Structure 1
Amino acid sequence: MTAVQDARPQYQAALDQLEKLFATVTPADLDRPTPCTEFTLRGLLNHVVGGVHRFAYMGEGGHAEDTVAAIEDPSDEGWPAALGRARARVTAAWADDAKLGRPTVAPWGEVPGAMAVGGYLMELVTHSGDIARSLDNGFALDDDLARTALGIAEFVLPAERRVPGVPFAAVRPVAEDADVHTRLAAWTGRTV
């Protein structure tokens, strides 16, 4: 992912996918475990929606460390609406092309806005996979989005840089013929 690439269209496509995925969640699903062992599904949905708001805040000129990637939980049926509000905010916050070259303070440091978009694209696609695995309802994830996210992950999270403080576990082994979603999950430290 270079600073000159504009991943906003892919980020919007990842939000499309996430909205469809959120629409499959029922209140009975919210206490399910997830590949992110620190979160139940409810906690992961909260983290994801909060992350979209944090990314919007960054696009509005704020520093990531000034806000948490969490929201006040909506009603059990309110997750799609909560994501919709976050999506509207992040879309508006990153609409100006000039923001792609502007220094942006992300959780991992100051980077050009375009790199922040790429990082949040990777996070959104990765967590969409986590949610789909938790639900285990046959939801078909987008292969192209996963390939893009894996390319970003391999660039920004090389296996040898998994040190304490990096919020990703060591790369997990996968079969050579593993699908792209499994490879992305393994690269980001999920048990596959």
Structure 2
Amino acid sequence: MDSDERETVGPAEPAFGVGELMERAAGRAVPVVAAIADGDLERPTPCAQYTVKDLVNHLIQVLVQFQALAAKGESDFSGAPDFVGEDAAGWRDRFAREASALVAAWSRPGAEEGTAGAMNMPARLVGSMALLDLTVHAWDLARATDQRYEAPAEVVGPLIAAVSELGPTARRMNVFGAEVEVAASADPFVRLLAATGRRV
């Protein structure tokens, strides 16, 4: 076959859809949240501005708002709902329900297509932002409450790519801390955490 007959090869399709990756991340995050004791809620977390309670509230808000973004709706992060305080007995179940709903929302046909959000970002990248929170904040909560957490291997590579794209803006907005230097041979998840400003 000469050069004129060769087919043009485009970019490889992602190995997993965002919904599939979220399902794997949720499978690790839900048990961490379920195991948080009431006495853990005022503990500090690796996110300096958040206690465990604050971070659970933030993460539930992320799960809810990114369901709307999957449907090309608008998100609203202007408030700070107190899901934990409003439902002291049921917030762990609420987290599990919202995580399941997030997975379903991003698994629907068309969720990854086009743009989403007020900034008209590529929808897959928007989904990766929720995936990042579901993964990294699960680690934060596990670290704060003396639990073990291991990120799903298939999630880490796509998140490293997303953080590489989002990082400069996120650091200017103080969403990420300054990148922590780690060895090139470090575990990929350690490198992901370091890229968001976390020390392991």
Is the shorter-chain TM-score for this pair beyond 0.5, marking a shared fold?
A: yes
1:27 aligns with 2:38: yes
**Equivalent pair of 1:33/1:40 in contact (CA under 8 Å):** yes
2:48 maps to which residue?
37
> Residue 189 of structure 1 aligns to which amino acid in structure 2?
G
Give 1:129's match in structure 2, choosing from 110, 127, 139: 139
Q: Please report how far the alpha carbon of residue 78 of structure 1 lies from its aligned counterpart in structure 2 after TM superposition.
A: 2.5
CA spacing shift, 1:69–1:45, aligned 2, 3 Å: farther
CA spacing shift, 1:140–1:94, aligned 2, 3 Å: closer
> Residue 152 of structure 1 aligns to which amino acid in structure 2?
A
Q: Please report how far the alpha carbon of residue 162 of structure 1 lies from its aligned counterpart in structure 2 after TM superposition.
A: 6.0
2:173 maps to which residue?
165
* Equivalence map 1:39-78=2 (5 Å): 39-64=50-75, 66-68=76-78, 70-74=80-84, 75-78=87-90
- How far apart, CA to CA, are the structure 1 residues paired with 2:79 and 2:108? 23
* Equivalence map 1:138-177=2 (5 Å): 139-144=148-153, 145-158=155-168, 164-177=172-185
Please give the secondary structure, in 1, of the residue aligned with 2:165.
helix
RMSD: 2.6
- How far apart, CA to CA, are the structure 2 residues paired with 1:26 and 1:44? 14
Please give the secondary structure, in 2, of the residue aligned with 1:98.
coil
Unaligned 5+ segments in structure 1 are none
Unaligned 5+ segments in structure 2 are 1-10
The structure number with the bigger radius of gyration is 2
Please give the secondary structure, in 2, of the residue aligned with 1:100.
coil
Q: Please report how far the alpha carbon of residue 166 of structure 1 lies from its aligned counterpart in structure 2 after TM superposition.
A: 4.6
Identity score, percent: 25
Give 2:112's match in structure 1, choosing from 100, 123, 140: 100
- How far apart, CA to CA, are the structure 1 residues paired with 2:60 and 2:79? 8
Q: Which moved more, 1:176-185 or 1:4-13?
A: 176-185
1:116 aligns with 2:123: no
> Residue 108 of structure 2 aligns to which amino acid in structure 1?
D
TM-score normalised by length of structure 1: 0.82
**Equivalent pair of 2:57/2:83 in contact (CA under 8 Å):** yes
